């Protein structure tokens, strides 16, 4: 990734790379940008899947969000726990669905 990249990584994603009590991320900008692009693309791709499953199964938006989050945690998505939560919340945001508490739902 070049320094000329016009892509702006949102603070909510950069926060995934900041350890408690620290100010700066614990990873290089290029790595954070690469992970952000992956997670943003995944959240966008999951929108259609979520909408289709909601219609097919006739369940609530919250149910679909929780199921997708569990799938990201259990599957081979190659995401950290924090990235899986971010992707799930971002997908819900893009769909304009209210995101339930993922911590309680995935225990």
Length of the chain (residues): 107
Residue 52: domain span: 11-16+28-105
* H-helix segments, 1-107: 11-14, 29-57, 61-74, 81-95, 102-105
Residue 90 lies in a domain: yes
- Domains identified in the chain, total number: 1
Percent of the chain topping pLDDT 90: 79
Residue 6 lies in a domain: no
Q: Is the pLDDT of residue 51 over 80?
A: yes
User: What pTM, to 2 d.p., does this model score?
Assistant: 0.88
Give pLDDT tens digits for 15-50: 999 999 999 999 999 999 999 999 999 999 999 999
Residue 1 lies in a domain: no
Q: What's the average model confidence in pLDDT over 45-60?
A: 94
70 in Cβ contact with 34 (< 8 Å): no
32 in Cβ contact with 70 (< 8 Å): no
């Amino acid at each position: 990734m070049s320094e000329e990249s016009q892509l702006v990584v949102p603070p909510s994603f950069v926060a995934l790379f900041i350890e408690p009590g620290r100010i700066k991320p614990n990873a290089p900008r290029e790595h954070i940008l690469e992970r952000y692009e992956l997670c943003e693309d995944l959240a966008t791709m999951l929108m259609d899947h979520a909408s289709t499953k909601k219609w097919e199964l006739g369940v609530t938006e919250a149910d679909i969000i929780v199921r997708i989050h569990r799938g990201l945690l259990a599957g081979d998505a190659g995401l950290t726990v924090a990235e899986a939560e971010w992707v799930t919340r971002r997908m819900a945001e893009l769909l304009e669905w209210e995101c339930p508490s993922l911590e309680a739902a995935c225990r």
